[in-house]
Amino acid sequence: MAGGNIRFLGHLPNDRLPEIYERHDVFILPSLYEPWGLVVEEALFRGLPVIASDKVGSAADMVTALETGAVFSLAAPDGLSNAIHEVEENYETMARRVADINWNGRVEAQLKAYTSLLD
C-alpha cells in the first residue's frame, strides 16, 4: 500500500539509528500505545519533524507544544494521511522549529525538576 518513497525498516539496532535519522526528512511513529516514546526526542534531536499518533505520550510535549510536527488521532480514518499533508505543507516552518529547540535548556529544566524533588 505504501508508495516507493516509504520504507518500513522494522527493528534496528541502536547503533544504526543515527545514520537512519540522517538519511530521512520526517519521522513517523503511528503507535497504538507508547507511554513516552523516546524515539520522538531522538528524531527531533537529529533534526526531523515528527508525525505521531495521539497514543504517544511524548507527542503533546515534544510535537504539539513545540510545533515540530503533527499529532493525529488513531480514531480518525484519515488521521495519518492528514498529518502527512500537514507536515508536507508546513515542512519549512516545522524544520526550523526543530532546529531551534534548545536542548541544553531542556536538560537544565529537567535536572531542576528532578533536584527539586529532593528538597
Domains, the chain, in order of start with CATH, read: 14-116 (3.40.50.2000)
What is the mean predicted confidence (pLDDT) over 54-77? 96
Q: How confident is the model at residue 5 (pLDDT cuts 50, 70, 90)?
A: confident
User: CA of 108: how far to CAs of 45, 64, 111, in Å?
Assistant: 16, 21, 5
Helix (H, G, I), strand (E, B) or coil at 50: strand
| HSE toward the beta carbon, residue 69, CA cutoff 13 A | 30
pTM above 0.85, yes or no: yes
pLDDT of 1 above 70: no
Counted residue by residue, the chain has a size of 119
Q: What 3-state class would DSSP assign to 8?
A: coil
